[in-house]
Structure 1
């Protein structure tokens, strides 16, 4: 029997959204069948299909950009789509390669939900999960809305284009050049349109899945630090000396476990975060460039579509940086709690035991992208400034 009698409903509520998006692309690290063979039969073909669709969109689009297109402005407009596909493919491959690290993080979350017994601690954890779920849902709305605008509404609203050579061109969700067949002929056009649309779903699902994982882990870490604050206050307020050793041991154990969990999350998310930060910086730049181009062309549909894309990119980077900021703030909260304790109410030997806990808390842990970019609101400001700088550089090509 689990220590938490609400464990099954709690863990379902915690993992529900993340499990849904992870299973869509075949990277949920826990088996949901009792037999190993059905799990392999289900996930492996799904992973192969996802990679195949991503590459089948990426390669023809790159051929179109670097071989067919000659106008530098059109190349820049299409290259943003190429870059987004590259970023999604790299993140997807990373999540597959480091699936065990993702599983280890989720196992620790599961273990904490199994063992929580204090009602106030459980409420604190549920509140953090609720915040994380809302952020993931908001991310999913922005991402898929952007996908519908860019890959369905925008190409369909353009209609058929007739060239001066009397050749009819039907736009695709992603501009592409297929050497071995003419994509404009039916049913090739309809098939490619459907496959590219489905490839877009995969790209956006990868974005939401990686975002959801880091959000779940950071919110869980913040909840554990809230619990640590409560444990420290309970230790200092304890009046019976025979209970002090036990409560001190609980504080030390919880502090070490929580910091080890954050290190594990850092190892699992540092490179996806780096790819997201660097890729989004360039993509914000390209989105801004497309907005300027469409503003001059007075194309309202394309302009709105690129505004949605820009909003989605800014939102995603802001939340990644917000997650890092939450870690920093919670670490500072622990340090402030320890520095303002009424330690003089404790026996001398127990008060001295707080010195080591204080020393550990003063070594702040942060979430980093690639071990050299701290995720914080300051980083978000730097990303926006860097994107504007690149945008000015692109405009110099005009």
Structure 2
């Protein structure tokens, strides 16, 4: 019999949402699985790769063979990079399934062996925080994904080119070599394929954030228990009990550090890919920001004195307007610029 009699319900509450979201991608590490369950997981994994490939390859072909405008190509490259990173992150999750299983086993062991009511309450509170973080991440990712994958392409309607060709927009611009993606039912099929491909990409991000939140908040709960154990050493008067408590405290600290190492080895590559993806997006966004600032620089360095006086006066309004270029803002709070990005980066560096 384990010290925590409610460990079954506690473990179920802690990992319930993580199990649901990971099972959508076929990467939840079951303790025991039948042949049919194993076949189902393999089918889900292959299906996810197929849907991601159905979006990635036609978009790359569109950039290479159809789209010739550099500015539009840069915007599409950001979408391609996001998909490539999603494939890499998904591969990392598939390969680290056994490590996730080991982390979950350590967590279950901690839930079984928790002794005091206050320690159990602290762990439940941390598990509740991890669930809330998962729910918030899912809400933001899926709502934004639904908007960009359905409302944006459908709101554009149909476009008629100069050659009198009607174009129906897909969530991602694509070029299909073997068939015409504008004819029904090929258009509808590809629309739904790209929709579900986006759903997979957003789910991959939610899974990574949910696992990180689950393991980190569990670690925070164990840290609080460790601090309680350390504080209790001061109040102990009997030397025999002090030795037992000291040994238990050291053992708990060693277990916690081993768990942290296991979490580090499990999430290090997915975390690296997340940072790389965000950095690439910031760099592409910075290109657009710099292009806005170049307008002001061009106007301010214009050789206006070479024009006749009447014509030079006509440029005053243009110069005055261009000195304050249009800027992208984050929630109307601060500018999205290279300067702001540098200030934020320096702020984090100083705190570290």
Instruction: Using structure 1 for the length normalisation, give the TM-score.
Output: 0.72
Are residue 228 (structure 1) and residue 191 (structure 2) matched? no
1:70 equivalent among 53, 58, 68 = 68
1:270 equivalent among 268, 271, 285 = 268
2:78, 2:257 → 1: CA distance?
38
CA shift for structure 1 position 266: 0.6
**CA contact under 8 A between 1:281 and 1:383: conserved in structure 2?**
no
1:71, 1:379 → 2: CA distance?
30
Structure 1 residues 137-216: aligned runs within 5 Å: 137-216=135-214
1:141, 1:54 → 2: CA distance?
22
Specify the SS of the correspondent of 1:27.
Answer: coil
CA shift for structure 1 position 110: 1.1
CA shift for structure 1 position 307: 7.7
Are residue 130 (structure 1) and residue 93 (structure 2) matched? no
1:286, 1:49 → 2: CA distance?
30
Quickly say closer, same or farther: Cα 1:174–1:383, change in 2 above 3 A. farther
CA shift for structure 1 position 379: 11
**CA contact under 8 A between 1:91 and 1:275: conserved in structure 2?**
yes
Deviations along 1:363-391, one digit per CA (max 9) or x if unpaired, are: xxxxxxxxxxxxxxx99932999xxxxxx
1:382 equivalent among 345, 348, 352 = 345
2:140, 2:69 → 1: CA distance?
31
Gaps of 5+ in 1: 294-305, 309-313, 315-377, 386-398
CA shift for structure 1 position 9: 1.3
Quickly say closer, same or farther: Cα 1:133–1:284, change in 2 above 3 A. farther
1:45, 1:271 → 2: CA distance?
24
**CA contact under 8 A between 1:80 and 1:287: conserved in structure 2?**
no
Are residue 38 (structure 1) and residue 36 (structure 2) matched? yes
**CA contact under 8 A between 1:232 and 1:251: conserved in structure 2?**
yes
1:262, 1:278 → 2: CA distance?
23
Specify the SS of the correspondent of 1:262.
Answer: helix
Q: Residue 8 of structure 2 corresponds to which residue in structure 1?
A: 8
**CA contact under 8 A between 1:77 and 1:289: conserved in structure 2?**
no
Q: 4+ residue runs of structure 1 moved beyond 4 angstroms?
A: 287-293
2:176, 2:288 → 1: CA distance?
25
Specify the SS of the correspondent of 1:47.
Answer: helix
Quickly say closer, same or farther: Cα 1:158–1:191, change in 2 above 3 A. same
Q: Residue 21 of structure 2 corresponds to which residue in structure 1?
A: 21
2:346, 2:68 → 1: CA distance?
30
Instruction: Using structure 2 for the length normalisation, give the TM-score.
Output: 0.81
Are residue 246 (structure 1) and residue 244 (structure 2) matched? yes
2:140, 2:80 → 1: CA distance?
20
2:330, 2:53 → 1: CA distance?
27
Q: Residue 91 of structure 2 corresponds to which residue in structure 1?
A: 93
2:290, 2:342 → 1: CA distance?
25
1:379, 1:76 → 2: CA distance?
22
Quickly say closer, same or farther: Cα 1:242–1:118, change in 2 above 3 A. same
Deviations along 1:289-329, one digit per CA (max 9) or x if unpaired, are: 67999xxxxxxxxxxxx989xxxxx9xxxxxxxxxxxxxxx
CA shift for structure 1 position 235: 1.5
Q: Residue 110 of structure 1 corresponds to which residue in structure 2?
A: 108
Q: Which has the larger radius of gyration?
A: 2
Quickly say closer, same or farther: Cα 1:163–1:53, change in 2 above 3 A. same
